[in-house]
Amino acid sequence: MLLRRRATLLAVLAVTACGSSTHATPTPSPRAVTTATPTPTPTPTADPCVVPQQSPPTGNIGASFATALAFAPDGRLFYTERSGTVRVWQGGSSHVFASVRTVTTEAGGGYSERGLLGLAISPTFALDRYVFAFYSDANRTQQHVVRWRDCAGTGTGAAVIITLP
């Protein structure tokens, strides 16, 4: 009988131990401590896209009637004269870049919206050196977009790339 009591007591203790409501709290593992390394403040540098300042034109720059202006990335000022000439202002003076045959009046001599009227520098001018212009043809029936390649300040290889009625 004593053996039976001991077996019962052991069984009760085992069940009690397994069903205990006390839970062991796990011990947290130590965390690695990191420290922030300060990064130096970057030193400001010159903007490589800034075009060097040039003096603006003063006095008569030789334009009979300037109708469009465009700056090249190198700072030169290209401008058109309504009468058909594209000019370049550089180093304090102006010179002819290119010209087109155009008219600025109606057939009867009255005012018209004709002539060399538009100018654009290629967005990739540093690579392709293209200058574009829009003008009315001397025949008074068509308009053209022409493209030149800048070669040492002179327009070369004129090519009409668009003709409009």
Q: Which residues contact 100 (CB under 8 A, 6 or more apart)?
A: 84, 86, 116, 133, 135, 144, 146
- Mapped onto helix, strand or coil, the DSSP state of residue 159 is strand
pLDDT: which is higher, 30 or 80: 80
Residue keyed to tokens 């180093």: 91
| Sequence ranges of the domains in the chain | 70-164
Q: pLDDT digit string (tens) for 48-88?
A: 555 455 555 554 444 467 899 999 999 999 999 999 999 99
For the record, the structure tokens of 130 come out as 């293209």
Across all residues in the chain, what is the average pLDDT? Answer: 79
Query: Tokens standing for 162?
Result: 């668009």
pLDDT of residue 13: 43
Query: pLDDT at residue 131 above 80?
Result: yes
* pLDDT score for 119: 98
Q: What is the pTM of this model?
A: 0.61
Residue 120 has a pLDDT of: 98
- pLDDT for 95: 96
Q: How many CB atoms are located within 10 Å of the residue 131 CB?
A: 23
**pLDDT tens-digit readout, 89-107:** 999 999 999 999 998 888 8
Q: In this structure, what are the phi and psi dihedrals at residue 137, rounded to the nearest 5 degrees?
A: -70, 155
Higher pLDDT, 107 or 40: 107
